[in-house]
Amino acid sequence: MPHVEIKCYPGRTEEVKQKCADKVAADVAELLGCNLSSVSVAIKEVEKENWKEQVFEGQIFADEKALYVKPGYTC
């Protein structure tokens, strides 16, 4: 039952977010060897001015041990 949560700045259309979620779900199901119906994907928008505190510091580096791909930027 994999669950993926994507955080991004606001501004993308619902169509783009749905396509992204569908692709991520399909890749996760294929790579982890599970049914597509077992995968859930959430997309949460975070305002640019809140990114550093809420995401960069609050999640990305707060749980660095679980991070498989590190960002190539700093805040």
**Active site (catalytic) residues:** 2
Residue 39 has φ and ψ, to the nearest 5°, of -100, 135
Residue 55 has φ and ψ, to the nearest 5°, of -105, -60
Q: CA-to-CA distance for 3 and 17, rounded, in angstroms?
A: 16
In 1-75, beta strands by DSSP E: 3-8, 40-45
Which amino acid is present at 18?
Answer: Q
